[in-house]
Amino acid sequence: MAGVNRHRAYSRMPQSKENPSLTCPQLVGLTASMSIYESPVAPNQTFSQAYWSAVISAALYFLLSMMLIINMLGYFLGHYPQNFVLTDDQRTLILQTLGFIVWLAIGGAIFSQVIDIDYADAVYFSNVTILTLGFGDITSPDPIARGLIFPYAVIGMVMLGLVVSSIHRFAQEIHRDNVVMNHIKRKRKAAVRRSESQSSTQGESSQDTQLTYRQRHTRHKPIVSRITNPFSRNSQDRHARLSLLLEEKARFDAMRAIQNETARFRRWTSLVISIAVFGVVWTCGALVFWALEDGMTYFTALYFGFCCLLTIGYGDVTPTTNAARPFFIVWSLLAIPTMTMLISRMSDTLVRAYNRATGVVATWTFVLPTQGQWGVVRGGVPRVGRGLLHLFTKRPSHQATLEKSAEMERKSAELEKGPSKSQSLPPPQSSTNPLSLEDFARNPNPSSRELAQQLAQAIQQTVRDALSGEAKEYTYEEWVGFTRLIRFTSPRRAAEAETDGAGGMVLDEDEFGVLSWDWIGEQSPLLAEKTEPEWVLDRLCESLFRYVAMQGEGKKEEEG
């Protein structure tokens, strides 16, 4: 047979494992020469699946060669570094993909002997089995083959799940680096330009402090930011400090708005990209099947592709030609991860919106009303509302009324007596009872002992927030408290106070970590890859290290 001879010719072909650009011309030349000089004679001869597998391999090698050329061109233009180091996720993806392909090859070798079919058909059978399509066009009547399907299918599904998970993480990384970060950069620059234009039109206040950011171990010019230092020595007036805190809060709110808008942008752009990729894989794959299968219409090809993408597997339409089956193997390995990522993106956007809408409908139709909805009924229908309120609510007991009256009398007595010395200082900050901006403006510089106690309490609270598993977002008041706890241990605190008198302050990094930042700058905590509790916990621990080092130096000076 012509197909067998051609398969042997491909097995004797020299191969290059180092550079796909050397293998690509060999495959292209061999497949083209076979089509020109050794074409099959219809209707008794046709190209085998091995030939079409070589054609697909040549196309894939050509695509890889073009990607390498583009990468090299990007290096010459300065867009890519000279050295390329794989991340752990990328290395894991390569190894898992290689292992999955080897597992398919092993299945083809085993089932070709057990079921007594060609190796190409056995690889197709293994692929359909692992992808849980179950067409039924190739079955195994032998009990040994049926018994081998048990471990082979389970192990193959696990390996496929690992590959899909790695592809999902890799796609998220690419989307974040190339799309989301560029979006954040544009929005942040726009916010900086608006801030500069507003400051230039309003004029600089006499209480403004120019903050300069300089990274450690660098000779670059410092980055000047027209923000204010609410804890500077010049800002002794309470109202002035409060106004400075409000100005910085505006920058914080601007960056928080950018962060929330970017989260929505990330979810919906991911969904749009996933839908676009799904549409391309579906329609283009159907176009190829329509061209390769005899007597198949394009609508039937769309139907077949849709059933494969959703792993329905009716089996009424299956690939039958020698050209369609090798292409189906490659196409299905691309289509299944595409469908998985689309479902994941839909769960982040459409499913979340559906759940929220379902909750609203259930609440307002009183199928499953939430707490407080009886008050709405009471306001809309007074008589019915009073009746329902009388049935479903409890009146306060006499003991609760007495306790509430005693509490009000105690607070009145404290107000008449006046604040004590211990009450003049704000209480320790916590996530349940955060300090207000007025409290920070009233007492901007507590003693080091009080700040050390607050530092320990803040570390304890942020550890709980970091271990809760939720992406907690701190308010500006909480961030002001954290900022004060981070900066009070700076060894340059005295120098910064002297610089404040000159109208500026240099904020940099020390050997322990970051000391200061700008909310809409590149070093903003809201742009960090870590969660806010993790970032704050790192900075608070760095502040604790500085405090311990300062105490050790103080003891050495006393002993000396």
349: in domain:
no
Assess whether 71 and 142 both reside in one domain: no
Among left, alpha and beta (phi > 0; psi -120 to 50; other), residue 295 is left
266: in domain:
yes
Q: What are phi and psi of 521, to 5 degrees?
A: -90, 180
Q: What are phi and psi of 514, to 5 degrees?
A: -75, 135
Assess whether 137 and 286 both reside in one domain: yes
Q: Each residue of 407-466: pLDDT tens digit?
A: 555 544 554 444 444 444 444 455 545 666 566 656 556 777 888 888 899 999 999 988
Contact 223, 213 (CB under 8 A): yes
227: in domain:
no
421: in domain:
no
CATH of residue 114's domain is 1.10.287.70
Task: Assign 179 to helix, strand or coil.
Answer: helix
State the pTM of this model. 0.68
Q: Each residue of 264-323: pLDDT tens digit?
A: 888 888 889 999 999 999 999 999 999 999 889 999 999 999 999 998 989 999 999 999
Provide the CA 142 distance to its chain's centre, in angstroms: 48
390: in domain:
no
Assess whether 5 and 108 both reside in one domain: no
Contact 289, 296 (CB under 8 A): yes
Assess whether 330 and 259 both reside in one domain: yes
519: in domain:
yes
Is 5's pLDDT higher than 50? no
Q: How far apart are the first and last CA of the chain?
A: 97
Which of 16, 51, 81 finishes a domain?
Answer: 81
Q: What are phi and psi of 265, to 5 degrees?
A: -60, -40
As a whole number of angstroms, the distance between CA 325 and CA 125 comes to 10
Assess whether 158 and 256 both reside in one domain: yes
As a whole number of angstroms, the distance between CA 376 and CA 432 comes to 29
Tell me, letter by letter, the H, E, C secondary structure of 478-527.
HHHHHHHHHHCCCCCHHHHHHHHHCCEEEEEEECCEECCCCCCCCCCHHH
As a whole number of angstroms, the distance between CA 419 and CA 404 comes to 22
Predicted local distance difference test score (pLDDT) of residue 11: 37
Q: Each residue of 191-236: pLDDT tens digit?
A: 777 766 555 555 544 444 444 434 444 434 444 444 445 544 444 5
By CB neighbour count within 10 A (0-12 exposed, 13-18 middle, 19+ buried), where does 21 fall?
Answer: middle
As a whole number of angstroms, the distance between CA 507 and CA 517 comes to 8
Which of 53, 81, 109 finishes a domain?
Answer: 81
As a whole number of angstroms, the distance between CA 179 and CA 256 comes to 19
Crossing angle between the packed helical segments 119-130 and 49-76, to the nearest 10 degrees:
70
Q: Each residue of 113-141: pLDDT tens digit?
A: 999 999 999 999 999 999 999 899 999 88
Mean pLDDT of the chain: 75
Assess whether 280 and 251 both reside in one domain: yes
Q: Each residue of 247-260: pLDDT tens digit?
A: 777 778 888 888 88
526: in domain:
yes
- Overall number of domains in the chain: 3
Assess whether 164 and 48 both reside in one domain: no
Establish how many alpha carbons lie within 13 A of residue 496's alpha carbon, considering only the half-sphere containing its beta carbon.
22
369: in domain:
no
Which of 35, 51, 81 finishes a domain?
Answer: 81
Assess whether 39 and 124 both reside in one domain: no
What is the sign, positive or negative, of the torsion defined by CA atoms of 352, 520, 203, 240? Answer: positive
Assess whether 320 and 444 both reside in one domain: no
Assess whether 449 and 328 both reside in one domain: no
Assess whether 280 and 152 both reside in one domain: yes
Assess whether 482 and 518 both reside in one domain: yes
**Both tokens of residue 257?**
């708005």
Residue 538 neighbours by CB distance under 10 Å? 16
Residue 522 lies in domain: 431-559
Contact 211, 507 (CB under 8 A): yes
